[in-house]
Amino acid sequence: MDLLEYQGKQLFARHGLRVSQGSVVTNVEDAVTAAAEVGYPVVVKAQVLIGGRGKAGGVKLAADESELRENAANILGMDIKGHIVRKVWIEHASDIASEYYASVLLDRSAKQPLVMFSTEGGVDIEEVAENTPEKLIRQHVDALTGLSHGEAVQIATVGGADSDVIDGVADALVALYEVWLQEDATLAEINPLIVTPDREVKALDAKVSLDGNALYRHPENQDLSDSENEDPIERRAKEEGVQYVKLDGDIGILGNGAGLVMSTLDVVAQAGGAPANFLDAGGGSDAEKIKQAVDLLLANDAVKAVLFNIFGGITRCDEVARGLIAAFADIKPSVPFVVRLDGTNDVEGRHLLAEAALPNVYPAKTMNEAAEMVVALAAGQPVGASA
Ligand code: GDP
Ligand code: MN
């Protein structure tokens, strides 16, 4: 779950990281009020879940009210790489002496938290990593002991932070580590972490992703999810209590059980296809549930074919088949469905489907066969006769 900058800064402040005070607003008049509160000059910042706002014109300084009005009016409604700006954050502008970079994330391959620091902040950190990797310090942290102030001093020193702010940078790194750890974040990043002419160290930007699966441990973070920026179909699935994930391909995938769904994704990829989404129907798939699932899968226009992969256990394949027949009578999908039924009552299930003779439904016996068929159908190629 990605947070907007101002939300990330709220978490930073909670853990003692220095940030500028400000307000989030949705219109020019409120921006004027907010700017008067923090005092000019101010900075107007687009709140969207995408980086590079500065380069795109979504971060602007304003010396007075007329500049503020102009900038706020320009930025509100702006399209930044497909993200429409509905909120702007107004904070008192900072004077900048240096721009550093700091982040904490989980290094999955090392199975350890990783702290990164560079004095080359403010710019694309990927470029620093690629062109001058020696300027990006990478330090693993022992998860049991955490990041000590001494280790943080070491990172800041090796990274080449100005000697008079090493202590301040170390404090910021420790606080950032605490944000990452205590808020169950998957990423906590500050770019730039600035040094002001008064030698204050402070976070000018915030990029925080929280682990959605740990959200139950943080009721106070529950409402940070920005529903405007969420995929509307994923939001609907969440509201309906269905496990649904959007991907970038053109094949819709529906299965029962997380393991089966995961392996279905793999088999489709192996057959040369690209999943558009996947949905776990879970156990006890009655007609209503299947209709809901098919509806959700097809809400994504990118879907050109659907693979329906059911392994019957407690879920009986004949019930699934009945559900599918009932759902199709209602929805009448325009894209082909490959249906693989295996396990409890699979013979009855396939028999029911054959009897119903649904147009554009193709039965398959094995997962591999089903994957190959759905990949061909998505590519517009003919396969064997439909059921
Ligand atoms: P991003 O482009 O989405 O990463 O947005 P940032 O919040 O990092 O802002 C982009 C750039 O705008 C920063 O690297 C700064 O150079 C500049 N900037 C942002 N806030 C201020 C500020 O308060 N004062 C000054 N002088 N520059 C700022
Ligand atoms: Mn930034």
Q: CA angle, 146 as apex, 143 and 152 as ends, to 5°?
A: 130
322 CA to centre of ligand 1 in angstroms: 58
Spatial contact of 69 and 44, defined as CB atoms under 8 Å apart? no
> pTM for the full model?
0.75
Determine if ligand 1 sits within 6 Å of the CB of residue 52: yes
Q: Which residues pair with 25 in a beta bridge?
A: 88
Question: pLDDT 10s digit of each residue in the chain, 387 long?
Answer: 899 999 999 999 999 999 999 999 999 999 999 999 999 999 999 999 988 999 999 999 999 999 999 999 999 999 998 889 999 999 999 999 999 999 999 999 999 999 999 999 997 899 999 999 999 999 999 999 999 999 999 999 999 999 999 999 999 999 999 999 999 999 999 999 999 999 999 999 999 999 988 989 999 998 887 655 567 788 788 788 788 888 889 999 998 888 999 999 999 999 999 999 999 877 666 677 888 888 888 888 899 999 999 888 888 888 888 888 988 888 888 899 999 999 989 999 999 999 999 888 998 889 999 999 999 999 999 887 554
- Active-site positions read 101, 189
Spatial contact of 371 and 273, defined as CB atoms under 8 Å apart? yes
C-alpha dihedral (248, 250, 251, 256), degrees to nearest 10 = 40
What is the three-class DSSP state of 322?
Answer: helix
Side chain identity, residue 203: A
Nearest ligand 1 atom to alpha carbon 51: 3
Q: Containing H/E element for 210? A: strand 207-210
50 CA to centre of ligand 1 in angstroms: 14
Q: Which residues pair with 24 in a beta bridge?
A: 89
Spatial contact of 233 and 299, defined as CB atoms under 8 Å apart? yes
Determine if ligand 1 sits within 6 Å of the CB of residue 346: no
Nearest ligand 1 atom to alpha carbon 92: 23
Q: Which residue has the tokens 């959200």?
A: 215
Determine if ligand 1 sits within 6 Å of the CB of residue 122: yes
Determine if ligand 1 sits within 6 Å of the CB of residue 8: no
Spatial contact of 87 and 30, defined as CB atoms under 8 Å apart? no
**CB contact set of 222 (below 8 Å; sequence gap of 6+):** 215
What is the three-class DSSP state of 223?
Answer: helix
Q: Which two tokens stand for residue 307?
A: 């693979």
Nearest ligand 1 atom to alpha carbon 50: 3
The Cα 274–Cα 296 span in angstroms is 18
Determine if ligand 1 sits within 6 Å of the CB of residue 155: no
Spatial contact of 137 and 117, defined as CB atoms under 8 Å apart? yes
Nearest ligand 1 atom to alpha carbon 91: 23
Question: Which ligand has the shortest distance to the CA of 60?
Answer: 1
Spatial contact of 230 and 143, defined as CB atoms under 8 Å apart? no
The Cα 59–Cα 383 span in angstroms is 53
Q: Which residue has the tokens 């102009």?
A: 70
Determine if ligand 1 sits within 6 Å of the CB of residue 265: no
Spatial contact of 276 and 305, defined as CB atoms under 8 Å apart? no
2 CA to centre of ligand 2 in angstroms: 15
The dihedral through the CA atoms of 220, 223, 224, 230 has a sign that is: positive
pLDDT of res. 4: 95
Determine if ligand 1 sits within 6 Å of the CB of residue 41: no
266 CA to centre of ligand 2 in angstroms: 36
Kindly list the distances between the CA atom of residue 15 and the CA atoms of 54, 173, 179, in Å, as whole numbers in the listed order.
26, 11, 6
Kindly report the backbone phi and psi dihedral angles of residue 89, in degrees, each rounded to the nearest multiple of 5, phi listed first: -105, 130
143 CA to centre of ligand 2 in angstroms: 27
Kindly report the backbone phi and psi dihedral angles of residue 370, in degrees, each rounded to the nearest multiple of 5, phi listed first: -60, -45
The Cα 18–Cα 165 span in angstroms is 14
